[in-house]
Amino acid sequence: VKPGEAPGERPTFSLPVRVYYQDTDAGGVVYHAAYVNFLERARTEWLRKLGFDHRALVGTFGIVFMVHAMEVRYLKPAFMDDTLVIELALRRLGASRLELEQRVLREATTLVEAQVKIACVSIGSFKPVRIPDPIRRKIEE
C-alpha cells in the first residue's frame, strides 16, 4: 500500500499552495527543488498548528528541526497556476527524530511523494537533542 492510499487513511495535516512563476523553470513545469520548499511550508504550518512556531522552538526550547534525510519521488509534473495540496502524515516519533510521509497532490492526483526525516537539534551546536516533552505530547495527540 502506498503512503496515504489506504482507504480511510488521512493525512495529519494539509496545506494548499499555489504555483507561481518563481516556482517554475524553463521546462514549463514546477522546478524540482520548489517542491522541497512546498514540503517545508507544510511542516512549518503543522508545527505552528500544534503551537510551536519557530520563535517558540528557538526561544522556549532552544531547538530547531532540521531535515536529516529526504527521499523524493516525482510522479507527474505541476504547472504554473496549479493549486496544490501538500499533505503530511507522521510515520515515526523517535527520541530526537521525526519521520514524516509527505505528498503533493493536484486534486486527486499525487504528483510527488516524499519521506522526510527531521532531527531535533540544539541551536548553535546543531547536535541532536531529545524532542522536548511538551512538543512530543502535542505530536502524539
- What are the residues facing 16 on neighbouring strands? 85
Q: List all residues 6 or more positions away from 106 whose beta carbon is below 8 Å from its beta carbon.
A: 78, 82, 83, 84, 85
Amino acid at 113: E
Residue nearer to a copy of itself on the CB measure, 66 or 95? 66
Q: Does 138 bind a copy of itself (CB under 8 A)?
A: no
DSSP 34: H
Nearest approach in angstroms of CB 105 to a copy of itself is 18
DSSP annotation of 23 = G
- Residues with Cβ within 8 Å of residue 7, at least 6 apart in sequence: none
**Within 71-90, which residues bind a copy of itself (CB under 8 A)?**
71-74, 77, 79-81
Q: If binding is defined by CB under 8 A, does position 26 make contact with a copy of itself?
A: yes
The residues with which 52 forms a beta bridge, in sequence order, are: none
Q: How far is the CB of 131 from a copy of itself (least distance, A)?
A: 17
Span near a copy of itself by CB under 8 A; candidates 3-11, 43-51, 87-95, 133-141: 43-51
Active-site annotation holds for 82: no
Per rule CB under 8 A, is residue 32 in the interface with a copy of itself? yes
**For residue 42, which of 72, 105, 106, 86 has the smallest C-alpha distance?**
86
Site for a copy of itself, rule CB under 8 A: 18, 20-22, 24-29, 31-33, 36-37, 40-41, 44-45, 48, 53-55, 64, 66-74, 77, 79-81, 123, 126
Tell me which residues are annotated as active site: 25
